[in-house]
Structure 1
Amino acid sequence: MFTVRLRKGKEKAVRQLHPWVFSGAIENVKGRPENGDLVSVTDNSGEFLAYGFYNSQSRVAVRLLEWNPEQEINDEWWRNRIRKSINSRRELLNDSTDTCRLIFSEADYLPGLIVDQYADFLSVQILTSGIEKVKDILLDELNKLVKPKGIFDKSDASARSHEGLEASHGKLSGINPPEFVTVKENGVSYNVNISEGQKSGFYCDQRDNRRIVAGHAVGKRVLDCFCYSGGFTLNALKNNASEVMSVDSSALAIETLKQNVLLNDLDSIKHIAVQSDVNKQLRKLKEEGEKFDVIVLDPPKYAPSRSALTKASRAYKDLNRLGMQLLNEGGLLATFSCSGAVDIASFKQILAWAALDAGKEVQFIDQLCQPEDHPVRASFPEGEYLKGLLCRVW
């Protein structure tokens, strides 16, 4: 096996079971491993630390898999990891929910593999060269365990370019999904466009938060920003909101949302769908003197890395300032960040700055996070990316 020897003093994170070795921590590489090849990682004295797969083109040069030197990483090792991940989600799938994340990359000890289940179909993202090399084994095990009608590849993320991989998109096994696959989440039905939809097709990481926010929507006027296919909107309408306005810049998202309102037999008279840039729409609503009782702000990732934090903080502050100004006295703001680089303490500070600029007082009444099918590994806190705050605004 090829060997990666670390610089002196760079072994601490590996001993603490962190799954990443950055290129700058490497002293030398024995042999010439190809991208995705298994390597043995040692400290500077040559003592074994862990096994992982290597990529010379990535800033994360080694993604660690196994810390037991006696454990061989073979076909059965990979299959066992798939089984553990899927079996841990069994209780989430029931008569009212047939969609969830089955495998969550590093959190499930499978770095660069994301698998989402949408009823009878699986959507897969393969984002690392190591997973790409064992793709056939993993797909075979997924077919055996889940028995889907089809597995669809959504590996077109920019992360693949950092690993020297080209984008990949299309059927991997079984049949192609129809234009829309109907799934259920907490008793609400959704038409999911797996092939053309954002990310893997649907944001199942907000499952619990949609239910929590809907609990505050009874009889209220709700504004759902960055609504996508309508997760927060549909739950609010189902929970007897007096009116819901949904805003998204994507024409496909708005059209899918309208279909989802009809799919659930919800009152379309109580729903207003607006295709627009959210920030422009918020300013327009302010000029028109509109007010809401509950506002949801669920923007895309503003800070893809720590280098983008300053710019992202300004964007989050401006967005939340606009939202606060549209709330009735004592209204609720459900605001989220899916940027892993923004921790909850920083997010609270951003909300405090936004409140000052808006001339508002804010109380944090609940702290929201990603659900159990998006676990956070103790040794990999970077996996905790989704955080939300439910705020009372005065």
Structure 2
Amino acid sequence: MKKVYNFLTFAPMFEVILKKGKEKAVLQRHPWVFSGAIEKVKGKPANGDIVRLLNAKGDFMAYGFYNDQSRVALRLLEWDEHVIVDDNWFRNKVAVAVAGRADILADGTTNTCRLIFSESDYLPGLIVDKYADHLAVQVLTSGIENLMPVIIDELQRLLNPESIFDKSDASSREHEGLETVNTALTLTSPPENVEVRENNVIYNINIAEGQKSGFYCDQRDNRKILASYTKDKKVLDCFSYTGGFTLNSLQHGAASVTSVDSSALAIETLKENIKLNKLDAAKHIAIQSDVNKQLRVFRDQDEKFDIIVLDPPKYAPSRSSLDRASRAYKDLNRLAMLLLNSGGLLATYSCSGAMNMETFKQVLAWAALDAGKQVQFIYQFCQPGDHPVRASFPEGEYLKGLLCRVS
């Protein structure tokens, strides 16, 4: 564990002064203050310290985490000057976030979800995922890094998990001056395979070696919705990872499913998940390959499908990369459209926060034009309730998708 904040004697020692005219976002309770909006820092706060933010007149505006290495120099926590941001403040935020997921886990068909979603749960830089009786955490800010002893203690008090694993290996930690971490935070480490259940589909999750925190629970609702269309259909699941869309499609009576992913570990785990769910392996084909390359192979073979799923990684990590990402999304979707039978369905997603739904629809319109296809949008997918979108933080809405009828 790193430095523990002494909240028993909490008194913000340092003040940050905002430039004149930069108050609007703070007043609207957006949690980010960029370094260019800061006029002056009084004293020398350490990265991760909690400071007082004042306007140009010296009036209090908010408390927040400070970091001079990050473009987001302040991550705001509390706008009421009279509220003490101590360890109990953070414990309460953790408890409220965990309680807010109770309905997802209530009926017993699902025992995995996101418990804490960073700024959207008022804990900037903290992600906590529940996998059965194990927790995976990702820490992306120096302020939360300082508070990990308090947060871990509260998670243990609330949930008494078998293990807690720190999966803080995201490259974005570098912007906060933090090294990557991949280690157990409890005496017990998670087993190599943790068995979880989502909508009565069973998955083996490798927390330590899997992508992100081990599993993509943000597609939980979308997997269930799309599965209702797959009975007796020939399905292609691209970027299949460990088989979320594949398993749901097979369980709902798909005639066949072809899964494509570049990761050998993901493909092997997918095959094990098919056995775990006692699904018909004869209806499944697994291909380890680059998806764009494989789509061209299918095109050259004149292969056709009834339903195609495109769930690619984040192509646009920032607004500056949006133009390049749009071209990549367009080409990917154009290739998929060429492989669909007339009237077939394309379920296509973007997890790039920089790409909004309007832009995504425009990209698909360009793809359809280039493919010589007609496209109807018949359903809009979004992220589930355990990935809430805070009204003052629209950046939290990152996952969007469209179900398209292509002819």
TM-score, normalized by length of structure 2? 0.96
Aligned pairs (5 A) from 1:156-167: 156-167=169-180
Give the Å deviation of 1:43. 0.8
Which position in structure 2 is the counterpart of 1:245? Answer: 258
Give the Å deviation of 1:174. 3.8
Distance 1:328 1:174 in 2: 54
Distance 1:168 1:276 in 2: 29
Deviations 1:280-302, CA, capped at 9 Å, x for gaps: 00000011111000000000000
Are 1:112 and 2:125 an aligned pair? yes
Contact 1:149 1:174 in 2 (8 A): no
Contact 1:37 1:54 in 2 (8 A): yes
Distance 2:188 2:120 in 1: 29
Which position in structure 2 is the counterpart of 1:58? Answer: 70
Which position in structure 2 is the counterpart of 1:68? Answer: 80
Distance 1:179 1:321 in 2: 39
- Give structure 1 regions of 4+ aligned residues with deviation exceeding 6 angstroms: none
Which position in structure 2 is the counterpart of 1:272? Answer: 285
**In structure 1, which of residues 318, 323, 347 is the aligned counterpart of residue 336 of structure 2?**
323
Distance 2:166 2:50 in 1: 24
Which position in structure 2 is the counterpart of 1:173? Answer: 186
Are 1:16 and 2:21 an aligned pair? no
Deviations 1:333-352, CA, capped at 9 Å, x for gaps: 00000000000000000000
Are 1:288 and 2:312 an aligned pair? no
Distance 1:317 1:285 in 2: 18
Are 1:183 and 2:193 an aligned pair? no
Aligned pairs (5 A) from 1:132-211: 132-211=145-224
Give the Å deviation of 1:173. 1.1
**In structure 2, which of residues 107, 110, 122 is the aligned counterpart of residue 97 of structure 1?**
110
Distance 2:169 2:41 in 1: 30
Distance 1:21 1:278 in 2: 38
Letter in 1 for 2:63: Y
Which position in structure 1 is the counterpart of 2:406? Answer: 393
Give the Å deviation of 1:159. 1.2
Question: Structure 2 regions of 5+ residues with no counterpart?
Answer: 1-12
Distance 2:81 2:365 in 1: 49
Question: Structure 1 regions of 5+ residues with no counterpart?
Answer: none
Q: Secondary structure at the match of 2:36?
A: helix
Letter in 2 for 1:74: D
Contact 1:247 1:276 in 2 (8 A): yes
**In structure 1, which of residues 23, 30, 53 is the aligned counterpart of residue 42 of structure 2?**
30
Which position in structure 2 is the counterpart of 1:236? Answer: 249
Aligned pairs (5 A) from 1:70-89: 70-89=82-101
Are 1:122 and 2:129 an aligned pair? no
Q: Secondary structure at the match of 1:155?
A: coil
**In structure 1, which of residues 42, 50, 54 is the aligned counterpart of residue 54 of structure 2?**
42
Report the RMSD for the aligned CA atoms in angstroms. Answer: 0.5
TM-score, normalized by length of structure 1? 1.00
Count of matched residue positions in the alignment of Structure 1 and Structure 2: 394
Q: Secondary structure at the match of 2:353?
A: coil
Which position in structure 2 is the counterpart of 1:217? Answer: 230
Percent identity for Structure 1 against Structure 2 = 68
Distance 1:123 1:75 in 2: 21
**In structure 1, which of residues 355, 363, 374 is the aligned counterpart of residue 376 of structure 2?**
363
Give the Å deviation of 1:91. 1.0
